[in-house]
Homo-oligomer: A and B are copies of this chain.
């Protein structure tokens, strides 16, 4: 019996030992699994220094507070709300305030006449010589020398007069300069309708911005607002629109590029810490083959004239309704080796038509992909793009306002970030959704594309990505990165100072 008992006891001990092992090995396995998974996230490779760790604590304190509030009241969680409703609260968010101050590196995807803030656009409407004209849903704005030189394209009226005559003029004007409305879900029931309104905005402001002095003032302001938002460098998509002066001169595309370069030099002179800007020539995709032939001629000319300023080529406009890249393959192949491509591709909810642009973009060796919203529905494109380190330019607010996604936690970029895909955060057309600079998009990205414990490393990586995936050559790239690193260090110090964290290296025990 004694023998049996001790045998039984041994068996019991052995089995419970096994079981305890099973349990502890479960937690070990789980820990390892989670670590392995987290190591794939964008920014996971970065190591924060002690000061950064302290800033991270401050940041995460704020972030977790906002997340916890969101879990209690999901309807109040900002990334689950339409930007037109969330912006006011965002302005007050501590996370947002930190992001505003953070050196964000580069702005890589925005469109020439949709970038400066709405308030600046409104200020332009007080200029002398500005005329307005209602045409259907549009309210066109244009400068003329005087009443006698008005063109016949529209029934122009002096804006000064309209302003004096119409009581609700400011409100009316606001409605013509941005998409912002009280109930965007009702006003814009689908993607096509919001795009119609969106395109109208470009038409409304196009001729106002096209007036030469305003054109340069506008571009200057674009740079200024980015600079103030702690962005150091910009790559802007530009149509090269018609620019005019009051004497009837129309500037050629080549001259328009010249105006940009002149303004940029002026701005860099005024703000030497701003690194610079480049232009991606990006005319409309709603055109025929011979128009594209003409685009390519212009591209060659401006590349020759301003080799350092021209980053590459793209085609723009609503992808679902515009021409696909496949329409222009011979022309695009022809210039493939003389220019970089930055194609818009996959900015759609549909699968199996518009989104084939993703395949052409990758086959044409695009440098980055604009939006790329549909890329995950194309596993082979994803594989190829990841292998070739083709960054995706994600514009959260744009995708929300232009009706691809409501709750940003459903944005495919959350999956890209979790998988360490090179993402850059962009602002597209902040002008038209009442945003300004890059920070609003960064806030949305930080609060919806990362996990609960995604932290300063993610933000730092997004900044680094924006430089690493820019079209700068190696020398300039490393130069900008160095300058950005200095700003970053200053930012870290500033946050610590502002939060009263006296930074001193922990003294070693030996010192005591």
Q: Which residues of A contact B (CB under 8 A)?
A: 19, 22-23, 26-27, 29-30, 33-34, 36-37, 40, 67, 71, 73-75, 80, 185, 189-193, 320, 326, 329-330, 333-334, 349-353, 356, 359-360, 363, 376-381, 403-407, 409-410, 412, 414-415, 418-419, 450-454
Residues of B within 8 A of A73 (CB): 190, 192
Asked if A26 meets B363 with Cβ closer than 8 Å, knowing A409-B350, A409-B351, the reply is yes
Which of the residues B27, B359, B405 comes within 8 Å of A30, measured between beta carbons?
B359
By a CB distance below 8 angstroms, the chain B residues around A409 are 349-351
Enumerate 10 A-B pairs (CB-CB under 8 Å) in ascending A order.
A22-B333, A71-B350, A73-B192, A74-B192, A74-B349, A74-B403, A75-B193, A350-B409, A353-B452, A404-B410
Contacts of A353 in B (CB 8 A): 452
**Which residues of B have CB within 8 Å of A412?**
415
**Is A380 a contact partner of B75 (Cβ separation < 8 A)?**
no
Top 6 closest A-B pairs, CB basis? A352-B452, A352-B451, A75-B190, A74-B190, A37-B380, A75-B189
Task: Write the nearest CB–CB distance from A438 to chain B, whole angstroms.
Answer: 23
* A37 touching B381, Cβ below 8 Å: yes
CA distance A191 to B77 in the complex (A): 11
A326 to B34, CA, bound (A): 13
Assess whether A329 is in contact with B192, with CB atoms less than 8 Å apart: no
Q: Are B329 and A26 in contact (CB under 8 A)?
A: yes
Taken together as a complex, chains A and B put the C-alpha atoms of A67 and B353 apart, in Å, by: 11
Contact indicator B333/A418 (Cβ below 8 Å): no
Pair A29/B363 contact, Cβ less than 8 Å = yes
Bound Cα distance from A363 to B381, whole angstroms = 30
- With A33-B359, A352-B452: A23-B329 Cβ-Cβ less than 8 Å: yes
B191 touches A379 (CB 8 A): no
**Among B356, B363, B379, B418, contact of A378 (Cβ-Cβ < 8 Å):** B418
Query: So how many copies of this chain end up in the complex?
Result: 2
- State how many angstroms separate the Cβ of A7 from the closest Cβ of chain B: 23
Enumerate chain B residues within 8 angstroms of A450, measured Cβ to Cβ: 351
Chain B hits for A190, CB < 8 A: 73-75, 80
With beta carbons under 8 angstroms apart, the residue of B29, B334, B419, B452 that contacts A351 is B452
Contact between A349 and B379 (Cβ–Cβ < 8 Å)?
A: no
Verify B349–A410 contact, CB threshold 8 A. Answer: yes
Other than A351-B409, A377-B418, A405-B410, give 8 A-B pairs with Cβ distance below 8 A.
A27-B329, A33-B363, A67-B350, A74-B191, A74-B349, A350-B452, A352-B453, A415-B415
A187 to chain B minimum Cβ distance, whole angstroms, is: 12
Q: Are A30 and B363 in contact (CB under 8 A)?
A: yes
CA–CA, A377 and B453, complex, Å: 13
Shortest distance from the beta carbon of A135 to any chain B beta carbon, whole Å: 25
Residues of B contacting A351 with CB < 8 Å?
409, 414, 418, 450-452
Contacts of A330 in B (CB 8 A): 23
Inter-chain CA distance A170–B71, complex, in Å, is: 36
Choose from B334, B349, B380, B454 the contact partner of A352 (Cβ within 8 Å): B454
A121 to chain B, nearest CB (A): 29
Q: In the complex, which residue of chain B has the Cβ closest to the Cβ of A448?
A: B351
Closest CB in chain B relative to A446 CB, distance in Å = 12
Min CB distance A411 to B, Å, is 9
A376 and B415 within 8 A (CB): yes
What's the minimum C-beta distance from A41 to chain B, rounded to whole angstroms?
Answer: 9
**Which residues of B are found within 8 Å of A381, using beta-carbon distances?**
37
- Expressed in whole angstroms, the Cα–Cα distance for A414 and B359 within the complex equals 18
**One of B191, B334, B378 near A37 (C-beta < 8 A):** B378
Give A381 to B36 CA distance when docked, in angstroms: 10
- Measured in the bound complex, the distance between the Cα atoms of B415 and A409 in whole Å is 16
Task: Note all chain B residues with C-beta closer than 8 A to A333.
Answer: 19, 22-23, 26
Q: Kindly list chain B residues whose C-beta atoms are within 8 Å of the C-beta of A363.
A: 26, 29-30, 33
Query: What is the CA–CA distance of A381 and B333 in the complex, to the nearest angstrom?
Result: 40
